[in-house]
A and B are shown apart, each in its own frame.
Chain A
Amino acid sequence: MTLLEREEYLSGLTSQFRNAVSGKGQAAVICGDAGIGKTSLVETFTQLQADKAKIYWGACDALFTPRPLAPLYDIAGKMKSKIIDKLEQEAPRPSIFNEFLNEIHKEEPNIIVIEDVHWADESTFDFIIFLAKRINKYKSLLIITYRNDEIGPTHPLRLSLSNIPTKYLKRFELPPLSINAVNDLAKSFGRDGGSIFKRTSGNPFLITELLMNDEENIPATVKDLMIFRLSRLSPEARSAVETFSVIPGSVDKWLINLLIKNYNVIDEAVDSGILKVENDSVSFRHELLQIAVEESLSESKRFEKNTAVLNILLGQKNIAPFLARIMHHAAKTANTDVILKYAPLAAKQAARLGAHEQALKHYMTALQFSEHLSSNERLDILEGYAHECYLTARIEEGIQSCKSAIEILKDHHDPIREGENFRRLSRLLWYYGKDKKGEEYILKAIETLEKFPPGKQLAMSYSNFSQIYMLREKTSEAVKWGEKAVEIAKSINDVEIEAHALNNIGASKMFASDDPGEKYLRKSLELSLQNDLHEHVCRAYVNLGTAYMYKRHLSKADKFFSDAVDYANEKDIKLASLCVAGEVAQIKLHMGNWDEAFEVSYEVYENKNAPVMDKLLPVTVIGLIRARRNDPGAFQLLDEADEMVYDTGELMKIVKVKAARAEAFWLKNELQTNVEELITAYDLVKVSNNPWAIGEIAFWLWKGGKLQKIPEPIAEPYLLQIEGKWAEASELWENLKCPYEQALALSDGNEKTMKKAVEIFEKLGASAASQLIKQKMRKSGIKNIPKGPRKSTKENPSGLTGRQVEILELVANGLSNSEIGNKLYISARTVENHISTIFSKLNIHTRTEAAALVHQNHIKI
């Protein structure tokens, strides 16, 4: 693995070495936690200097009783000297040390490395201090490394080193890697940098171990390290560390006071690099170390420690702040009574705080023990679980748990609750891509609930029904059911349902290009923000974004989507960030950032937990990019998308999938074979009021020669194109910053605009479209069809063509015009012409300047 974020230390060492070579010897002390990368730094540095200096390497050993002068043995063994003999004869130390100085003087310049000094014995300390104090008289660099987590502040090494003048002693304390570096590393392994950073606090050794191993398990090397450190503690300190290991995160002082009697044991554990003290709490130096200790406990010990902590927490007067921790220790000890009593409370508390993943886990823990529950209690947990499943995008589990709840309710005669579960199931089914099944259940819910005076449950069912119509883009039905929901919501003062219904009304109006729609959506957003209705805030952002996306107001849409993502991440609402990915990918696709569009899409495509609904657009975007680039796998994905979209009933997704498929067929010159599919889609779309949806499908139908008459309403750029006004259309697309669509319009034009279209396609990497248009140009007898900006020209920032680069290279190598001409089979005059073009492109005047540019690598050849 490459050395990250260590440049400044490398250059510090290099400048010290430079001083040493000039006769002012230097000492460097490199310290940092275990695994921080001291050895890697020194190794990299010495490799860089290997040809400039003699390098000696010695190390101290991690033995209970260290070998005296071990590093000196290591180094002297490499020298042709009598030091080893003297050592064995136990000659007086000063004479041995002086002999050593004589030896290094013979082999100047040199670098002497002494590693892991924290394990050194007394005599090695003496040796190091002796060397450090005299090193400035030699052309030598002395490098000492130690773990500062194993050396207390009063350690003799620290005191001795502090006596050496800082003029030639530099101290480098290596910090942990930053989150950015960890992200980069994790990315190359396809892993999540955030969680790795959290678990390792940026320690490179631990990061490497985690990356090289299965994420779930603690690597054996870390365990070994921990067991070794534990074995050096006193029994009391070891017991305390073991107790702390079962407590996640840091341990507050009040809790420590209740757990241990003697504070000295903490100092002991801190000195040996296991714990650290911060403000009013104690924690492990790395989360991984903590897990390693916990895993090393025997089953009975783990039970004993957890029970002790659990009892202390349960004994507190106000347990609200400790609900999550109580759950943790109860689960570890399988304490059913405590789990079942506190799980729903903990889950609700977590949900209120926006920690939906945690809430989900609490319910899951409770469900594991639910055979001990009454059916009523079980029902509570199933309902809560289903709701959190929905919010955290675990649709299948949500459906299962909803069905279980409905099953229990069969014997309960609680129709209102039953209706509510029908409604919830309907929503989950919709997310699963089953629009028709979803409709079935929402009708069941309404039918059940309408038998009772209107309340919360009925209002919400109306609103969900409105939502189904909104997504199908049946405006009048969506508005009708939405208004019914608002009416009840207002009468019972339910802001949440009001916000939900206003969203549906506003979105469906906006999709139908009815501008007052935005007013409703914004009101919904405001209500949701004010009342902390997390899910509805996200929905409002997403639907505002979608409406602007339809209109190709890309930057505005982008803003709403990024607001949605930010908010969703903050509140842990996975569902929203997942559903936004497809939209964001589309924006990037329109803007011509296809690589980014792919990255965003691929992440969701690969995510096994992503619901069908959220995979649809990403799959479509990847398929379309492949079709446009002429890359393999396009139709495989577009077929996959088509299969998924079949049952969703969501108009926007149907339009995107069908349009992408039509384009892919068109690019293969096979639009005719797709026309039937397109006509079916058109029948569905034209009954909506959405001019953009209608326009997109009508456009491809027109391309396929099957558009009978121009539909209404239809978005302007599509209308212009269908009417043959390609110039105006291309201008509109250009203003909307959709280069691909712009080129498509230009390709309907004359010779000049077709050439421009090809140029844009080539720049986007749209080789399928550019080939298609070139073919069309050849057929209509157009000559001089551009070959497009050739790859090497594009990559060459100076804008030289391949031939020009070739000539430039020869010029730089000192060839004359006629020599170049001979080599390339062109006349010297032509060479001269090329050269003058090259010079003007590069803004240079002489052959010497040209040579300089090439040899400084400014021109890539």
Chain B
Amino acid sequence: MKKSNQNLYSVIGASSLGTLIEWYDFYIFGSLATIISEKFFPSGNPTAAFLSTLATFAAGFIVRPFGALVFGRLGDLVGRKYTFLVTLVIMGGSTFCIGLIPGYATFKAAPVVILLLRLLQGLALGGEYGGAATYVAEHAPENRRGYFTSWIQTTATLGLFVSLLVILGCQTLLSKDDFYNWGWRIPFLLSIALVGVSIIIRLKMQESPLFEKLKAEGKVSANPLKESFGHKANLKMVLLALFGATMGQGVVWYTGQFYAQTFLLKTCNLDATQVNTWMGIALLLATPFFVVFGALSDKIGRKTIMLAGMLIALICYRPIFASLYSYADASHKTEIAGKRLSQTTAHIDASTGDSAVIVSTMHTYTDGSVLTETQKKTFAAGTSRDKAIPQVKKSMLLGHMYGSRVVGFIFVLVLFVTMVYGPIAAFLVELFPTHIRYTSMSLPYHIGNGVFGGLVPFIGTLMYEYSKTPANPSGDVLAGLWYPIGIAAACFIIGALYVSTKHQKH
């Protein structure tokens, strides 16, 4: 028993490490998006801008479901172990190559190459998760599947955390210029070492016992795609998994971990370092709850926990985000008039002769918060005519008293994520038969998370922008929440009505 448990934990360790590295690889591109955009997708070049948008959107949303189909099929045909070894190699190789590509200034094909590598990353990620979840679930005893597979669920959050940590480490060790010029490549290049270690560990692993059994009995599916999506009996479960579970789970996940960050940075204009630090603390505190809710789902059922998470989330989103916004709202703060500082600088662009005046004003408030407003006015050469609309940037550094409150609210948002996401792997694995499991579970997972979830920050920001009218130019700051609330509500209804609480034996 002890040996079998040891073996199970080494299976979990090896699978989780590889999946964590894949998430790390996927996230560093997003975390360094601003630098990557400047290095490879120069502004003012429409083709590069087009490719940049595709790289941002396509990898996460379109290619991931394709990766699920390609590698899901492979996993059901040749086995779980070799398939998720392939996805790891593709992911690690692509990430390493991104770190090697010369910038657009010296290599004009850079935008196309970066786009292709990003697509490969998306494809690999689409194949990895289903393999890791299936592999662990097929090693775990049935009555503890929720607990054991929940370790795989922690990897997405930990991958984000590690990527932020590595980037922060590089930024701390290097000067600002060095990081901008070459240091940003380190997190990409580091990937090859991490992937190398993970490959060695995974090579030593055995194939899943359930797949081995299928193979020995000659029951491996001849055409997993046809059996998964061509037969009504299975297709209806794929659709149920998507609309009754992963769709809502995806939006709750992305709202808690990514939209919250976008909201704090762009809508509340909070200081980036402060937001990232608080996000990191909240993520770290909440991550163990993936395992807690995974284990609890073995006792009280997957459906109960996931749907409870969705319901509580959609009820609490507006009050939580309204509170977060109120902390940053300068109109509700009292300024210490004597502490206002203002600085004006002017410079002339040598190449165009245009002049720019930058006025920086620092407001200090009684609650310890500091708001820095920077206004940049550009004048055409030799005139006092405004060349463009003045750019205004705001950055609010909140007082210390808000730290625990913001961390608390983000923690609660991530707690909702752990409720819906902790038991999902076990739920999906149990919904489908072994011989087409990898294919069947991967597609709804990646549509739910990649498409419905991945679009939360984009659609949320879009809805907020659209809420701005001439009558209300500042818009409704909470408008973006209607998308995740609507999707989670629809998913809750479908899940509550159509998903059976009875566990199917496969």
A and B: real partners?
Answer: no
Residues of B within 8 A of A (CB): none
